[in-house]
């Protein structure tokens, strides 16, 4: 698998190593309901390893023989400073950039794990499970009103707005940092809106972040 490297929108490298990818489940109420899941009382956290990251414009190679692979489009946040039990102001100063990610999920595997009360990593942490876009500098976007979308073969499938998050970006990252330290180069995925579904070979995915990022990738 090719090595992943953080990049800015203009292809300039971000001189930070990729660390862990910290994710939150069910951060949009409508997404929780579409999968018949309860809305959690506090952020539902899990982690993808760095080996899950690939550049989002590379073709998506679906794992074989492991059931349906679902797309979940998410706003990604690049961390630029260490955070441990951080305050809101510390979180704000640590947000280096924003991008987009696909939280690819082996849905059949996840359902089996949930039935047994087991962790989700087998369904969420496989190689290539986190296609990541280049990043846009944080000061280019108002974090409380960020829009993003996913089209598949020209049909709108997901539309996200940070105003709909159950746990907004800054409080979410502060909570994460109270559970474990976040380091420069870590990426936070902030949850997916409703509209998730299975991927199929031959599909074209188009992702947009405001008017700042426009990306396409293919499913192989």
For 110, the 3-state DSSP assignment is helix
Q: How far apart are CA 162 and CA 168, in angstroms?
A: 7
Give the Å distances, CA to CA, from 183 to 29, 197, 208: 29, 32, 27
Residues 6+ apart with CB under 8 A from 135: 6, 7, 8, 9, 14, 76, 78, 96, 97, 98, 99
The model's pLDDT over 126-180, given as tens digits with 9 standing for 90+, comes to: 999 999 999 999 999 998 899 999 999 999 999 999 999 999 999 999 999 999 9
Structure tokens at 33: 């309901």
The model's pLDDT over 177-210, given as tens digits with 9 standing for 90+, comes to: 999 999 999 999 999 999 999 999 999 999 999 9
The CATH class, in words, for 21-218 is: alpha beta
Q: How far apart are CA 71 and CA 152, in angstroms?
A: 10
Record the pTM. Answer: 0.95
Structure tokens at 12: 């300039």
Give me the residue spans of the domains in the chain.
21-218
> Are 191 and 31 within 8 A, CB to CB?
yes
């Amino acid at each position: 698998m090719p090595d992943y490297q953080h990049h800015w929108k203009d292809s300039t490298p971000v001189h930070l190593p990729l660390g862990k990818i910290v994710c939150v489940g069910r951060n949009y109420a409508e997404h929780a309901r579409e999968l018949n899941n309860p809305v959690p009382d506090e952020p539902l956290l899990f982690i993808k390893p760095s080996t899950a990251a690939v550049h989002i414009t590379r073709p998506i190679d679906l794992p074989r023989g492991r059931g349906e692979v679902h797309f979940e489009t998410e706003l990604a946040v690049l961390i630029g400073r260490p955070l441990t039990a951080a305050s809101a102001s510390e979180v704000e100063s640590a947000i280096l950039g924003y991008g987009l990610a696909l939280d690819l999920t082996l849905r059949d595997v996840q359902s089996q794990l949930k039935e047994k009360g087991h962790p989700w990593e087998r369904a969420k942490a496989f190689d290539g499970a986190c296609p990541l876009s280049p990043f846009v500098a944080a000061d280019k976007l108002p974090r409380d009103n960020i829009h993003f979308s996913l089209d598949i073969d020209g049909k709108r499938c997901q539309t996200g707005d940070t105003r709909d998050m159950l746990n907004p970006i800054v409080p979410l990252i502060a909570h994460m940092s109270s559970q474990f330290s976040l380091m420069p180069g870590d990426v936070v995925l902030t949850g997916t809106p409703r509209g998730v579904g299975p991927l199929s070979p031959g599909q074209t995915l188009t992702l947009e972040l405001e008017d700042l990022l426009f990306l396409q990738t293919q499913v192989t």
